[in-house]
């Protein structure tokens, strides 16, 4: 059965050794961020901070879907109600299967997310232990692992996305709204018509909602329906108090309000998912808060973005790759074996294993990949034959250095869209979001005769099957 809320999931994580309760007092100012960062580096269990300086009765959760020492994707698998030892291929297959069966949300009359209601002069964002995550951040960021809900101005499409949010004062937030991110698409339409855009920021949901909010889906796709499909049952929603939006009924905290297109204020900097402080302080849209609702003793999740691997660099590439794999197979009809985005590549280095159909096939596959929503940000793409295990970073590096000819197999595509948060994008390019893409062809040349292709000398490839089985069977008897 899917988890009904964040607390139910945390109980499961604790029972399975993936959560640690931190009872010692911790400071929301830098200390929490540093601990969470260290958790990522050591693949430690998720910390639940229960004693926060200045904030009795509140809790903070760090690294909710960070990688695990027991199995890289243990917490992510558990979020999908899958075995914690599930391999990346199994998680991908299950994600694709469930995505094809979306389930619409269930509207309910009330929810625990509205046990407490702050409106008017009672609204105060500083009532919550929003952390200053990194030294040098522009302020306290209450939104680092959350969901921002906005509605399209011209249709019924409602977007769930994860966009950083910094506290300006008691009732104002600031953050990025980059185009072509969907919040940027929505904001652009409202701004062109000089209309306010309503929003709801949802913090502390059952795990799938935050995961899908961090996963870029195609324009017009209803994330809440996909969330239902992945959970196997509808997400319960309740009408917000001051905006015309519906919000998860069992969330920990919900912040409601609007974005006025005429109002801008300096926000940032913030240490971003690329592992760098990639953007400075600049004027960005302002979220005006009209209401805050929350559960009793709420839990505030925190992600400390930085050098991979953190929550976003763990989850985003996994399901982005699943979407790309599904589209390449089902829409473009490519004989692709697998698509993987190593989390170390922060969404911008991709590997595809495939059967090669012709001399020019690899370049066509790359172009079709870049045409997908998730492939848009793939500045570096390595394509290899089916025999390479592209989920293994060791095998990726091995294939890159032994199968890619530095002169003949590297193709540069200039003037391509590139995320302005990438540090190699120069300031003039950031304004136009221009950069470049690179294709690395790691397949054996289609025109080579079979005898030219060297034999792989791995355990699985060069020893007879009966010898492999015997060695594996007797491994403990050898003394290992």
Cα 307 to Cα 17, 103, 379, 444: the distances in Å are: 25, 36, 18, 33
Q: What's the pLDDT tens digit per position in 328-339?
A: 999 999 999 999
Lowest mean pLDDT among 52-61, 156-165, 274-283, 297-306: 274-283
Catalytic residue (choose from 18, 206, 223, 272): 272
Q: In the structure, what pLDDT confidence band is assigned to residue 470 with cuts at 50, 70 and 90?
A: very high
416 burial (CB, 10 Å; 0-12 / 13-18 / 19+) is middle
Q: What's the pLDDT tens digit per position in 115-140?
A: 999 999 999 999 999 999 999 999 99
Higher pLDDT pick, 377 / 20 = 20
Rg from Cα positions in the chain: 23
* pLDDT, position 13: 98
3-state secondary structure of 302: strand
All structural domains of the chain, each given as residue ranges with its CATH number in brackets, are 6-302 (2.30.110.10), 332-462 (3.40.1670.10)
The pair of three-digit structure tokens given for residue 180, joined into one six-digit string: 């072509």
The angle at the Cα of 303, spanning 299 to 305, to the nearest 5 degrees, equals: 165
Alpha-carbon distance 366 to 363, whole Å?
5
Which residues, 6 or more positions from 250, have their beta carbon under 8 angstroms from its beta carbon?
Answer: 4, 5, 6, 111, 112, 113, 205, 206, 236
pLDDT reading at 278 higher than 80: no
DSSP 349: E
DSSP structure string for 315-335 = HHHHHHHHHHHHHHHHTS---
DSSP structure string for 24-39 = S-B-TBTHHHHHHHHH
Q: Which helix (H) or strand (E) holds 151?
A: strand 146-151
The angle at the Cα of 252, spanning 319 to 59, to the nearest 5 degrees, equals: 100
Q: In the structure, what pLDDT confidence band is assigned to residue 46 with cuts at 50, 70 and 90?
A: very high
Q: What's the pLDDT tens digit per position in 186-202?
A: 999 999 999 999 999 99
Cα 375 to Cα 217, 227, 418: the distances in Å are: 11, 21, 11
Question: Do 235 and 209 form a contact (C-beta atoms < 8 A)?
Answer: yes
**CB neighbourhood size of 335 (10 A):** 13
Q: In the structure, what pLDDT confidence band is assigned to residue 216 with cuts at 50, 70 and 90?
A: confident
Q: In the structure, what pLDDT confidence band is assigned to residue 389 with cuts at 50, 70 and 90?
A: very high
Q: What is the mean pLDDT of residues 270-298?
A: 92
Q: What is the mean pLDDT of residues 72-89?
A: 96
* Torsion, CA 72, CA 74, CA 76, CA 80, rounded to 10: 150
Q: What is the mean pLDDT of residues 416-444?
A: 91
Q: What is the mean pLDDT of the chain?
A: 95
* pLDDT, position 209: 98
Alpha-carbon distance 475 to 11, whole Å?
37
* pLDDT, position 273: 87
* pLDDT, position 180: 84
* pLDDT, position 420: 87
* pLDDT, position 361: 97
**CB neighbourhood size of 16 (10 A):** 15
* pLDDT, position 279: 74
Question: Do 207 and 65 form a contact (C-beta atoms < 8 A)?
Answer: yes
* Torsion, CA 322, CA 328, CA 333, CA 334, rounded to 10: -100
Alpha-carbon distance 406 to 391, whole Å?
23
How is the chain split among helix, strand and coil, in percent rounded to 5?
Answer: 30, 25, 45
* pLDDT, position 179: 85
Residue whose C-alpha is closest to residue 165's, from 147, 180, 153: 147
Question: Do 164 and 130 form a contact (C-beta atoms < 8 A)?
Answer: no
Give the rounded percent of residues in the chain with a pLDDT score beyond 90: 88
Q: What is the mean pLDDT of residues 375-401?
A: 96
The pair of three-digit structure tokens given for residue 13, joined into one six-digit string: 């994580």
Is residue 195 part of the annotated active site? The answer reads no
The torsion region of residue 54 among left (phi > 0), alpha (psi -120 to 50) and beta comes to left
84 phi, psi to nearest 5 deg: -70, -15
């Amino acid at each position: 059965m899917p988890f009904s809320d964040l607390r139910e999931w945390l109980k499961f994580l604790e029972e399975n050794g993936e959560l640690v309760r931190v009872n010692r007092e911790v400071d929301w100012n830098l200390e929490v961020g540093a601990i969470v960062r260290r958790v990522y580096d050591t693949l430690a269990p998720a910390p639940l901070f229960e004693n926060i300086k200045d904030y009795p009765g509140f809790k903070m959760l760090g690294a909710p879907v960070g990688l695990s020492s027991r199995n890289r994707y243990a917490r992510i698998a558990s979020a999908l109600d899958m075995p914690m030892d599930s391999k990346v291929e199994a998680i991908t297959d299950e994600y694709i299967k469930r995505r094809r069966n979306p389930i619409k949300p269930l509207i309910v009359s009330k929810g625990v997310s509205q046990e407490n209601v702050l409106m008017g002069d009672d609204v105060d964002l500083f009532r919550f232990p929003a952390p200053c995550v990194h030294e040098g951040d522009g302020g306290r960021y209450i939104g680092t692992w959350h969901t921002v809900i906005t509605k399209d101005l011209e249709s019924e499409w409602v977007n769930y996305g994860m966009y950083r949010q910094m506290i300006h004062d008691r009732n104002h937030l600031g953050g990025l709204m980059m185009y072509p991110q969907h919040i940027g698409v929505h904001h652009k339409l409202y701004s062109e018509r000089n209309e306010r855009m309503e929003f709801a920021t949802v913090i502390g949901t059952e795990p799938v909602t935050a995961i899908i909010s961090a996963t870029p889906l195609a324009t017009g796709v209803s994330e809440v329906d996909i969330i239902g499909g992945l959970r196997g049952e509808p997400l319960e929603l309740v009408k917000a108090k001051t905006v015309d939006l519906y919000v998860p009924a069992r969330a920990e905290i919900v912040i409601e309000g609007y974005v006025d297109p005429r109002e801008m204020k300096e926000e940032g900097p913030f240490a971003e998912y690329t592992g760098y402080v990639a953007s400075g302080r600049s004027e960005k849209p302002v979220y005006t808060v009209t209401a805050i609702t929350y559960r009793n003793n709420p839990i505030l999740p925190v992600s400390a973005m930085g050098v991979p691997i953190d929550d976003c660099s763990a989850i985003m590439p996994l399901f982005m790759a699943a979407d790309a794999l599904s589209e390449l197979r089902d829409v473009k009809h490519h004989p692709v074996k697998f698509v993987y985005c190593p989390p170390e590549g922060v969404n911008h280095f991709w590997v595809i294993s495939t059967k090669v159909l012709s001399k020019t096939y690899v370049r066509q596959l790359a172009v079709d990949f870049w045409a997908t929503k998730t492939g848009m940000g793939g500045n570096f793409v390595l394509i290899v034959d089916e025999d390479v295990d592209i989920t293994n970073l060791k095998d990726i590096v091995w294939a890159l250095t032994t199968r890619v000819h530095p002169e003949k197999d590297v193709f540069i595509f200039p003037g391509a869209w590139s995320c302005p948060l990438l540090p190699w994008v120069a300031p003039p390019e950031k304004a136009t979001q221009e950069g470049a893409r690179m294709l690395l062809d790691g397949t054996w040349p289609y025109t080579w005769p079979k005898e030219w292709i060297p034999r792989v000398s791995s355990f699985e490839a060069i020893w007879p099957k009966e010898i492999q089985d015997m060695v594996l069977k007797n491994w403990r008897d050898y003394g290992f």
